[in-house]
Amino acid sequence: MKTIEQIAAELQGYDPKALRAVDVNAFLARLVTPVSETEACGVFGALGRVLADDVVSPISVPPHDNSAMDGFAFDGGQLQPGQPLVLRCLGTAYAGQAWSGQAGAGDCVKIMTGAIMPAGTDTVVPIEFVKVDGETVTVPADVVRQGDNRRLLGEDLMAGRPALARGQTLGPAALGLIASLGLPTVPVFRRLKVAYFSTGDEILSLGEAPREGAVYDSNRYTVFGLLTRMGIEVLDMGVVKDEPAALEAAFRRAASEADAIITSGGVSMGEADHTKAMMKQLGDVAFWRIAMRPGRPMAVGRIVQEGKSSVLFGLPGNPVAVMVTFLAFVRPALQRMMGCAACEPVLLQAHSAEALRKKPGRTEYQRGIVTREADGTLRVRTTGNQGSGVLRSMVEGNGLIVLHHDQGNVAVGDPVDVMMFDGAI
């Protein structure tokens, strides 16, 4: 396991006092390692879990050529351009009940959606296109081509081929796909467990009476929501008072029980509290000033307890800064720990509806409202007041406008990158 100092030495231009956002991600990618333990998980329980192994299809789906429509199956080789085709109906093929005869030239078989294509047929004409008179079925000219309305064996999945890849997060479609293969369980990485607490003597817990200079704790609730959305097991440790004994007990318990610890508050420069001191005392921790807005201060490292190491994310105190640093840095790092193959958020591009002031030399994350224009392009406006304590901006926005490190002012209509909240928040 590399120390903070060793990781820092690997990064070119590492400057803890003015770290670029991209360097934070590069640092964290080196700091964290994926969990190694795996378990077999039932399909219903696998939603949101990360696949620990490739899933190879044991069967072909569908297992036979079958009809995609209710209609009549016949040999499409008999179709002539511009000519109707008159056929004799031999019987009916139902789904789940194969029709066992053989269709020859001039024959057809009435067929239901999902029924196996009868021998001698390769084309289905939908029932609404044909004229039926007793056993005589007339296919009008040019309504189907050979092979139409037939699903081929294995067109969804072929036996022996990989159906899902290790590192994939299982969504609703993947659950259905796993079940379609007849698999009752899949191998997944064990769930990650993350402990979090808020620090600061001015922070009130719910239920406490308001007092002058104090604010209610919101960070624990946003962090809870962000972690829960990721399928992470949470250990809520409440608000921890700014006292060495309380902080030490909290860090020790968190480190012994969780894979990662998220704290908020107490890491900024002028802090007169004990949080930073305790992090330093118990762990191998770097204290950064990141060239970003919001969310300049951050502490990152490891706390080791009884031979077990836990990754520490010491986030700033301001509520918006907590969410932004989580989305920009913590989330991809935790995804890596969960075994996810894809940890990079997908950025979209939208045209700015406003002129935005931006100084090159830091990354800014403004809260934006992305809408779709009549011509199909995306447009983004800010939510207004971008103060790092204005949590309302995160509620009103549907994404972050990411103004990159070297980027300068944005003019009306300029394209900007946006990180959509959907799926994360």
Whether residue 112 contacts residue 63, with contact meaning beta carbons closer than 8 Å, is answered with no
Question: With binding defined as CB under 6 A, does residue 314 bind ligand AMP?
Answer: no
Question: With binding defined as CB under 6 A, does residue 301 bind ligand AMP?
Answer: no
Within positions 262 to 291, which residues make up the interface with ligand AMP, using CB under 6 A? 264-266, 268, 271
Stretch of residues binding ligand AMP (CB under 6 A), selected from 55-63, 79-87, 160-168, 314-322: 314-322
Whole-number Å distance between alpha carbons of 316 and 289:
10
148 binds, among Mg ion, ligand AMP, none (CB under 5 to 8 A by kind): none
Question: With binding defined as CB under 6 A, does residue 218 bind ligand AMP?
Answer: yes
Nearer to ligand AMP, 55 or 203 (CB): 203
Question: With binding defined as CB under 6 A, does residue 219 bind ligand AMP?
Answer: yes
Question: With binding defined as CB under 5 A, does residue 399 bind Mg ion?
Answer: no
* Helix (H) or strand (E) run with residue 204 in it: strand 203-204
List the structure tokens of 46. 């696998």
217 binds, among ligand AMP, Mg ion, none (CB under 5 to 8 A by kind): ligand AMP
* Helix (H) or strand (E) run with residue 70 in it: none
Question: With binding defined as CB under 6 A, does residue 294 bind ligand AMP?
Answer: no
Total of residues contacting Mg ion (CB under 5 A): 3
Nearer to ligand AMP, 15 or 202 (CB): 202
The closest alpha carbon to 87, from 146, 143, 140, 128, belongs to: 140
Whole-number Å distance between alpha carbons of 359 and 357:
7
DSSP letter string, 275-308: HHHHHHHHEEEEEEEBSEES--EEEEEEEEETTE
Within positions 107 to 136, which residues make up the interface with Mg ion, using CB under 5 A? none
The closest alpha carbon to 316, from 288, 296, 341, 300, belongs to: 296
Per-position x/- string for 247-266, each x denoting binding to Mg ion as judged by CB under 5 A, each - no binding: ------------------xx
Q: Tokens 């008159």 belong to which residue?
A: 86
Total of residues contacting ligand AMP (CB under 6 A): 17
Name the closest residue to Mg ion (Cβ). 200
Nearer to ligand AMP, 240 or 425 (CB): 240
Q: Closest approach of Cβ 356 to ligand AMP, in Å?
A: 24
Whether residue 406 contacts residue 416, with contact meaning beta carbons closer than 8 Å, is answered with no
Nearer to ligand AMP, 205 or 377 (CB): 205
Provide the pairing of β-strand 297-305 with 283-289.
Answer: antiparallel
**Start-end of H helices in 192-330:** 219-229, 244-257, 275-282, 319-325
Within positions 316 to 335, which residues make up the interface with ligand AMP, using CB under 6 A? 316-319
Sign of CA dihedral 180, 185, 186, 189: positive
3-class state of residue 324 by DSSP = helix
Question: With binding defined as CB under 6 A, does residue 203 bind ligand AMP?
Answer: yes
**Bridge partners for 403 per DSSP:** 364
Interface ranges with Mg ion (CB under 5 A): 200, 265-266
Interface ranges with ligand AMP (CB under 6 A): 198, 200, 202-203, 215, 217-219, 264-266, 268, 271, 316-319
